[in-house]
């Protein structure tokens, strides 16, 4: 596709429910990043993949958060037992290599009720 695609655009989850957020990066982009953006704040780094390898997961806020990119293309961010503080916009970005220009998807807005 022409850009980074994320789905769903909006997700409402009941507290305690598991959710899965999908990211389709730009074809051929080696690097893939997940960021979390709280209301009125800049995006905060969650995790980084180079192809299928997760090289940095230092930003994941708890062990309830898990990300994968098994074939080096599509990535999924999973949040188990969602809590209200998980409510945020989750952004995916891809780039040709780590320090290159990063292109963002439109994000998934997660609301935990």
Partner 1 sequence: QKEVEQDPGPLSVPEGAIVSLNCTYSNSAFQYFMWYRQYSRKGPELLMYTYSSGNKEDGRFTAQVDKSSKYISLFIRDSQPSDSATYLCAMNDYKLSFGAGTTVTVRA
Residue numbers of the site for partner 1 (CB under 8 A)?
4, 6, 31, 33, 35, 40-45, 48, 56, 59, 91, 93, 98-99, 101-107, 109
Which residue's structure tokens are 């891809």? 94
Residue 11 beta carbon to partner 1: minimum distance, rounded to whole angstroms: 14
Give the nearer residue to partner 1 in terms of CB position, either 6 or 82.
6
Minimum distance of partner 1 from residue 16's CB (angstroms): 27
What proportions of the chain, in percent to the nearest 5, are helix, strand and coil?
Answer: 5, 50, 50
Alpha-carbon distance 82 to 7, whole Å? 18
* Cβ nearer to partner 1, comparing 27 with 58: 58
**What's the distance, CA 82 to chain centroid?**
15
Report in angstroms how near the CB of residue 28 gets to partner 1 at its nearest: 17
Nearer to partner 1, 81 or 109 (CB): 109
Report how far apart, in Å, the C-alpha atoms of 32 and of each of 12, 59, 82, 85, 99 are.
25, 14, 23, 24, 11
């Amino acid at each position: 596709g022409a850009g980074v695609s994320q789905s769903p655009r909006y997700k409402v989850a009941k507290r305690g429910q598991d959710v899965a957020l999908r990211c389709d990066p730009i074809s051929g982009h080696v690097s893939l990043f997940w960021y979390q953006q709280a209301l009125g704040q800049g995006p905060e780094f969650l995790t980084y993949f180079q192809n299928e390898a997760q090289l940095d997961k230092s930003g994941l806020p708890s062990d309830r958060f898990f990300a994968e990119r098994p074939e080096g293309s599509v990535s999924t961010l999973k949040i188990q037992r969602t809590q209200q503080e998980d409510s945020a916009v989750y952004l995916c970005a891809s780039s040709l290599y780590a320090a290159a220009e990063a292109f963002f998807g439109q994000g998934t807005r997660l609301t935990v009720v």
